[in-house]
Amino acid sequence: MAVLDQGPPHYKKMLPPIVQENYGQWKYHEIPSPGVLKHVAESGATLYSVRVGTPRLVSIDFIRDVCVIADEYCDGFLRWTTRNNIEFLVSDEAKLNPLLEKLEAEGLSVGGTGRSISNIVHTQGWVHCHTPATDASGVVKAVMDDLYEYFNTMKLPAKLKMGLACCLNMCGAAHCSDIAIVGVHRTPPRINHDVIRKGTEIPSLVASCPTGAIRPDPKNKSVIVNEDKCMYCGNCYTMSPGMEIYDPKNDGIAILIGGKTSNARSAPSFSRMVIPFLPNTAPRWPETTEAIRKIIELWIANARKGERVGEWVERIGWEKFFSLAELPFSDMLIDDYIFSRETFRTSASFKY
């Protein structure tokens, strides 16, 4: 039968034999050491995943090297996670320690499990997308270098999931992270009427604006932006290069905290903004790394064991968090402006 180009092959074909044989029959998992997960099936079969952090943008040579390691220790089975970690899948326990020694010898970092920070899930940044207000991999590299001690140990109060989205479109799912780094534009698009006239579908451009800030300007065969309605999202720039959104002085980073997707211990929650703007100080983003470290150290010092960042803040109250973090509060920072006039909280259940 001819194999047609009809999408990727079914994932089950790619699973290691031990996973296929025990599919849906896994009993429990534990973490014998940072970065190593031990999965045990009902049948008694045991599989280890060894997690290694990567910077996400990697060379072909690096991928080849990693595959050679997987061939030698894992029968060729490994997976890339959504957080840009590599997981080596070891079904022969005798190969676990030799694999760990090999990874150490190759300078690859094992970690990111349990009460640690996993790698930061992130977006395209300056390398690949057209609307970023900050870089992705560059910021993540700087932040993870600073937080490395929390990647290969498990000394945090709970797991720490961070995300970075380089614009408000948030294709990095940063809105439900313990700590989210979000690129923000702060000025409306500058209209290049010549570019719009020469090659833009004006109805699509008008329709691209989520706040209805763009209207046609038939006299000039262009558009007009109502700047009061603009939220600087950059969506219109995806429709036309004539809507220039970049602004080196005003583009930067906002920090949001307290989100999670898990429903363990407490319901899932969205992250909330606590720092509206930090400058784009490439290549090492010192203001951002310092602000994030400060929040993490406060969480370590004050949270109970097992408490995620948002659970800790909810327990002590957002009022207390802003005071402890010495962060200025404004009513633009949270999502319920009625309560925010008098309090930092977004619900009527106050906890003073």
d(C-alpha 252, C-alpha 247), whole Å: 9
Among 41-49, 113-121, 123-131, 290-298, the segment contacting ligand SF4 (CB under 6 A): 123-131
Among 29-37, 41-49, 227-235, 280-288, the segment contacting ligand SF4 (CB under 6 A): 227-235
Q: Should residue 169 be labelled a site residue for ligand SF4 when binding is judged by CB under 6 A?
A: yes
Q: Should residue 230 be labelled a site residue for ligand SF4 when binding is judged by CB under 6 A?
A: yes
Q: Should residue 132 be labelled a site residue for ligand SF4 when binding is judged by CB under 6 A?
A: yes
Among 38-46, 63-71, 208-216, 323-331, the segment contacting ligand SF4 (CB under 6 A): 208-216
DSSP for residue 254: E
Residues 6+ apart with CB under 8 A from 326: none
d(C-alpha 288, C-alpha 255), whole Å: 8
Q: Should residue 165 be labelled a site residue for ligand SF4 when binding is judged by CB under 6 A?
A: yes
Q: Should residue 127 be labelled a site residue for ligand SF4 when binding is judged by CB under 6 A?
A: no
Q: Should residue 134 be labelled a site residue for ligand SF4 when binding is judged by CB under 6 A?
A: no
Figure out which of the listed residues 73, 77, 150, 232 binds ligand SF4, where binding follows CB under 6 A. Answer: 232
Q: Should residue 206 be labelled a site residue for ligand SF4 when binding is judged by CB under 6 A?
A: no
Q: Should residue 188 be labelled a site residue for ligand SF4 when binding is judged by CB under 6 A?
A: yes
Among 30-38, 161-169, 254-262, 326-334, the segment contacting ligand SF4 (CB under 6 A): 161-169
Identity at 22, one-letter amino acid code: N
Calculated CA dihedral for residues 87, 88, 94, 96, nearest 10 degrees: -50
The phi, psi pair for 27, rounded to 5°, reads: -90, -50
> Can the peptide bond before residue 283 be classed as cis, meaning omega within 30 degrees of 0?
yes
Q: Should residue 58 be labelled a site residue for ligand SF4 when binding is judged by CB under 6 A?
A: no
| Cβ-based nearer residue to ligand SF4, 36 or 166 | 166
Q: Should residue 340 be labelled a site residue for ligand SF4 when binding is judged by CB under 6 A?
A: no
Query: H or E stretch including 184?
Result: strand 179-184
Residues 6+ apart with CB under 8 A from 63: none
d(C-alpha 180, C-alpha 164), whole Å: 6
| Cβ-based nearer residue to ligand SF4, 122 or 272 | 122
| Pick from 334, 332, 330, 331: nearest CA to 347 | 334
Sign of CA dihedral 84, 116, 288, 255: positive
Min dist. Cβ of residue 196 to ligand SF4 (A): 13
Residues found near ligand SF4 in the complex (CB under 6 A) = 123-124, 129, 131-132, 165-167, 169-172, 188-189, 208-209, 211, 213-214, 225, 230-236, 245
